[in-house]
Structures are given as structure tokens and as C-alpha cells.
Amino acid sequence: MPDVDVVLPVYNEEADLPRNVPILHHFLSSDALPYPWRILIVDNASTDGTPVAAQKLCAELSHLDYMRIPQKGRGHALKASWSQSKADIVSYMDIDLSTELTAFSALIRAVAEGEFAVATGSRLARGAQTARSPLREVLSRGYSFLVRRALGSRLSDAQCGFKAADREAVQRLLPLIKDNNWFFDTELLILAEKSGLRVAEIPVRWREDPDSTVDIRKTVVEDLRGLWRLRRDQPWRQR
């Protein structure tokens, strides 16, 4: 039986942690996932009460650990946790639980059963359901179009915060990923795809978090720079 690490990258999430970690813990404890699992909260340089909230949860719940790193950025959090993990499968999801948990079992099974090396949630695949503002919808679809056209990808949604990979794929891909922030997701999937690894897209139900603190303008700029870098450098051709 493969074991699974479920990573929650967090930055200043003292409110969402006590609200959503118990929901995730209850879901995993209800036999929704037929594999041994651990939840790992990875705090990347929070300046609020996140460390206290996380450590309190660790004292109350089983199969829950906490890691703190000094750098801010989701890519930093995933690189640090995934590279140190001893689990057969590593995964992550956003702490706001915007992606409905019912899709998590399918995400993990896609990797655990050996058919795919990487799996990602998709808000744009057939069967997916989303609830978000018109602006976010346009930006998401526009970005997906650019990823396909600029990089020759077949992916429908590169940025859904809901992913899993087997240990071998992670060891192979992490050293190649340069981005340490939001573009990490796209870079992971593109490098996997271009390296010949099979990537599963799992349709998900997703709702926009009205309290999200993501700076959309800054994220768009970073993503466009990341796309240009990958198109220019094509690191998969240099191996």
C-alpha cells in the first residue's frame, strides 16, 4: 500500500487552519482514501498566529505534522516538503479547500495505481464545475490558452491548487523547477509532460474563495514571465 503526504502550504492562515484542517482530517479519516496518509502543514514565513494555530492542531489531531521554512512562496514550501518526504506519493491542496475534497481520492488513485506519474485537478476539463467571478473565469481560460499555444501543451488547467505525484517523478522534476511561487504549478506540469511522464487531469468542483489574498495582477505578470522563460529556455531539450 503506498503512503501519501498531503501538504498544505500556508502563509498567514491563522483563521483558515483551525477551520479547514479538521475538515480535511475528518475526510481522510473516514476511509475516503484507502492508503496510509499524513497531513503536513508547511508554513512559509508567516508573520501572524499561523505557527501557534498549526502547533495546536498537531497536539489535537493524529497524522498531522508542522514544518516552518524561512522563505515565502508556495514553490519554496512544496520544494522543501516534497524533497524531504519519505512517502510514496506526495500531494498538495490549498488551505481554503476551494477544490471539493471528493476529487482527492481520484487524484491519488491516478498515481497510486501506476497509470500516471503526476495528477492535477482541472477546473476546465469536461465534467468540472466552477463558481467564480467573470474576471477569474476569463483569466483562467486565457492563461490555459496561452500555455497550450506557447508551449504545445495538452493541459486544460495548469494552475489548480490540487496536485499529486509519485516519489520518482518528484525526484526527477524538482531539481529542474526554477520558480518558487505561483508559477511552480505550471512549470511542474509542463516539465512532466515534456519529459514523457503521463499526467492525469481530474475534473473537480471548485469555488472561488471571496477572502483570497492573492494579488491577481502580480500573479498574472509572474505567470507570463514564467511562460516566456520556459518557451525561451526549453529545459527539456537540454537534458
CATH number at residue 34: 3.90.550.10
Residue 210 has pLDDT above 80, yes or no: no
Mean pLDDT value across residues 90-109: 97
Lowest mean pLDDT among 62-76, 104-118, 123-137, 141-155: 123-137
Residue 212 has pLDDT above 90, yes or no: no
Distance CA 36, CA 17 (A): 22
The verdict on whether 96 is a catalytic residue reads no
pLDDT digits (tens, 9 = 90+) for 136-192: 888 889 999 999 999 999 999 999 999 999 999 999 999 999 999 999 999 999 999
Mean pLDDT value across residues 17-31: 96
More confident residue, 84 or 215: 84
Domain count of the fold of the chain: 1
The whole-model pTM stands at 0.94
Q: Which domain holds residue 74?
A: 4-237
- Which residue among the candidates 5, 185, 209, 233 is catalytic per the annotation? 185
Q: What percent of the chain has pLDDT over 90?
A: 85
Mean pLDDT value across residues 187-209: 95
Residue 103 has pLDDT above 70, yes or no: yes
Residue 74 has pLDDT above 70, yes or no: yes
Q: Which three cell numbers stand for residue 162?
A: 490540487
Evaluate whether 143 touches 224 at the Cβ level (below 8 Å): no
Distance CA 28, CA 26 (A): 6
